[in-house]
Chains A and B, each alone.
Chain A
Amino acid sequence: MSAVAEQGRAAGRRETVAGLPPAGIRFLSVMVGLVAWEAYGRALHSVIFTYPSAVVRAGYELIVSGELQFYLKSSVIVLSLGLVLAIVLGIPLGILMGRRAVIEHAVDPYVNALYATPLVAVIPVIVVWLGFQTKAKVVLVFLFCIFPILINTYQGVKNTDSRLVEVARSFCSKEWRLWRDLILPSSAPFILAGIRLAIGRGLIGMVVAEFYTTITGLGYMIVQYANTFRMDRLFVPVVVLMIMGVVLTGVLRHLERRIAPWLYVAREE
């Protein structure tokens, strides 16, 4: 949905549609959806259905009791540890793969095999090996996150203008300087896009891991309230996850545009 909107903006379509600015249309659309949901939910009057105002009330209760913050904190810790680990290992490994043919061919089969594997399938293995605690979940989030970062970094490195690499060689640049002056800035847009994809996958990995281990976290909250048919409370962690996803990928998208202004020259007047 927002990808389409992005494209529209990129193409310079800022004019109003049907007398409304695009932001107004989107706001109205969301309001209509929420009101319809509310009306339908109230009319249905069923225990296994809920509606927005009930979710808001449940959210308020969960915040006042401190339960939401408690589980959110545990989820955020797992997500950030796994993501940071994936970034710290994924970027250098991706650059090495892009710059050194030996490493490229040595690592490639593992990356391909693991990236193609539905990682949900290895959750039981990880749990058996590492238990139900934070460690297992961090490893899972890490596994979900590292491949888009690694692969995007590698592609960014391969995409570096070979003529600029030649300029660096002409000035007798050392390899590590080349990374700093050339490889990293040139692949930065790719890396950021990789991190954005990783966040999406990391959120999935985090929730699924919490479903499976059912000790703590937003995923655990969901399972717990689903089992007791507290649909209003169940939707609270779902909404929180949605907000996390939207905010994090939004921030990354914004950074992507900021970090490589030279890629958007043609769009400026």
Chain B
Amino acid sequence: MVAIKQVSKSFGASRTEALQACTLDVPAHEILCVIGPSGCGKTTLLRIVDGLIRADRGQVFVNQTEVTAPRPDVAMVFQHFGLLPWKTVYDNVAYGLRVQGRADADLADAVSRYIDLIGLRGFEKNYPYQLSGGMQQRVGLARALAVNPEVLLMDEPFGSLDAQTRELMQEELLRVWRSQPKTMLFVTHSIDEAVILGDRVALMTRRPGRVKEILEVGIARPRDPETVRRSTRYLELREHIWHQLKVEVVGGNGQ
């Protein structure tokens, strides 16, 4: 479904290399979690897959067609939320659908369904600046889900949530995913989240980012987070990913 082939990207006059020959394949309806040290190029990778910026070298294919510009069947949840400050929660969630030309009457159901899902019923008329960071982040998630894309690019979508809300949102996301299977590239800093959500976990090296290792999670779905956390497979993966990340982060500090 999503095929990333040997993608490289450098920025600025100094040609700081953010990604180096990065290759990843995400089959349809798979959740691939991407985990890697800060600054290793995860956001850059998602922006390239979304068609927002072009890779210097390499190609990205979605549904067998090469990505050259943003497309409606791919939606992104931004690390910086990217809400429009002058639009209410309702209008922000409706934004993607309106841009796609859906009539107001036609989109009301979907919008209120996703507002319920993110637990912001009663806040429809609030503006982003009247919400907490975690609430804003959930609005960004609802906006992307509302357009019902085939591919979801999630850039640390739960990074600003407290532990409880985070687990609730993970469950909600899995519920949506079960009823409307989507292909997901899910960037996270949480090893726990990667193992609970992912079919596979891709570990990235420090900058310039390459795929260091891809791990099969191999835990049957539907998963109950509590049971998963007690399983030996979970502990094993956790231990392994932790060590691999530590090597990257410590190495990145010049040791």
Distance in Å: Cβ of A168 to nearest Cβ of chain B: 7
Interface centre among B75, B85, B128 (most CB of A within 10 A): B85
Given A170-B76, A171-B147, the answer on whether A163 and B82 have CB atoms closer than 8 Å is: yes
From B53, which residue of chain A is reached at the shortest CB distance? A166
Q: Identify which of residues 82-97 in chain B touch chain A, using a CB-to-CB cut-off of 8 Å.
A: 82, 84-87, 95-96
Number of interface residues of B (CB under 8 A): 23
Q: In the assembled complex, how far is the CB of residue B180 from the closest CB belonging to chain A, in whole angstroms? A: 18
Within 8 A of A (CB), among B218-244: none
Residue among A166, A171, A261 making CB contact with B75, cutoff 8 Å: A171
Known contacts A170-B50, A170-B76, A177-B99; is A262 also within 8 Å of B82 by CB? no
Q: B246 at the A/B interface (Cβ < 8 Å)?
A: no
- Which A residue sits closest to B50, measured CB to CB? A170
Q: Say yes or no: A182-B84 contact (C-beta < 8 A), given A171-B75, A262-B129, A265-B129.
A: yes
A/B pair count, beta carbons within 8 Å: 53
Q: A168-B99, A171-B75, A172-B99 are in contact. Are A262 and B70 (CB under 8 A)?
A: no
Q: A169: which B residues are within 8 A, CB to CB?
A: 52, 70
Could you say which residues of chain A place their CB within 8 Å of the CB of B80? 163
B127 contacts A167, C-beta separation under 8 Å = no
CB within 8 Å for A171 and B84 given contacts A262-B127, A262-B128, A265-B129: no
- Of the candidates A163, A164, A181, A262, the one whose C-beta lies within 8 Å of that of B99 is A181
Of the candidates B84, B86, B100, B128, which one forms a contact with A260 in the assembled complex, judged by CB atoms under 8 Å apart?
B86
Contact A185 B84 (CB under 8 A): yes
Q: Once the chains bind, are B72 and A172 in contact (CB under 8 Å)?
A: yes
Asked whether B86 lies within 8 Å of A167 as measured between CB atoms, the reply is no
Contact for B85 among A170, A173, A262, CB less than 8 A: A262
Task: Indicate whether A163 sits within 8 Å of B96 (C-beta atoms), given known contacts A182-B84, A265-B129.
Answer: no
A173 and B99 form a contact (CB under 8 A): yes
| B residues near A170, Cβ cutoff 8 Å | 50, 52, 70, 75-76, 78
Cβ proximity bits B56-80 to A, threshold 8 Å, 1 near / 0 not: 0000000000000011100110101
Bound CA span A68–B75, Å: 63
Residue in contact with A171 in the complex, picked from B70, B86, B87, CB distance below 8 Å: B70
* Interface residue from B47, B78, B86, B99 paired with A185 (Cβ < 8 Å): B86
B47 to chain A: which residues have CB within 8 Å? 166
CB contacts (< 8 Å) of B96 on chain A: these are 171
Q: Which of A140-164 contact B (CB under 8 A)?
A: 163-164
A181 to B143, CA, bound (A): 15
Smallest CB gap from B80: residue in A = A163
Residue of A164, A170, A261, A262 with highest tally of chain B CB at under 10 A: A170
A261 and B127 contacting across the interface, CB-CB below 8 Å? yes
Q: Which residues of A contact B99 (CB under 8 A)?
A: 168, 171-174, 177, 181
Q: How far is the CB of A75 from chain B (nearest CB, A)?
A: 36
Task: Report A-chain residues with C-beta under 8 Å of the C-beta of B129.
Answer: 261-262, 265
Residues on the B chain within 8 Å of A172, using CB? 70-72, 99-100
**What 0/1 readout, one digit per residue, does chain A (187-204) give for beta carbons within 8 Å of chain B?**
000000000000000000
Bound: A201/B86 CA distance, A: 30
| Cβ–Cβ < 8 Å partners of A260 in chain B | 86
User: Which residue of A is nearest B140, CB measured?
Assistant: A167
Q: Are B71 and A167 in contact (CB under 8 A)?
A: no
**In the complex, how many angstroms separate the beta carbon of B166 from the nearest chain A beta carbon?**
23
**Chain A contacts of B71 at CB under 8 A?**
172
User: Which residues of B sit under 8 angstroms from A167, Cβ to Cβ?
Assistant: 78, 82, 84
Which A residues lie within 8 Å of B52 (CB)? 166, 169-170
Q: For B87, what are the chain A residues with a Cβ–Cβ distance below 8 Å?
A: 181
Give the CA-CA distance A42 to B78 in the complex, in Å. 71
A residues lining the B interface (CB < 8 Å): 163-164, 166-174, 177, 181-182, 185-186, 260-262, 265
11 A–B contact pairs at CB < 8 A?
A: A163-B82, A164-B84, A166-B52, A167-B78, A167-B84, A169-B52, A170-B50, A174-B99, A182-B84, A261-B127, A262-B86
Q: Which 9 A-B pairs have the closest CB atoms?
A: A167-B82, A262-B85, A185-B86, A265-B129, A171-B96, A262-B129, A171-B99, A173-B99, A170-B76
Give 4 new A-B contacts, CB below 8 A, not counting A168-B99, A172-B100: A167-B78, A181-B95, A261-B129, A262-B129
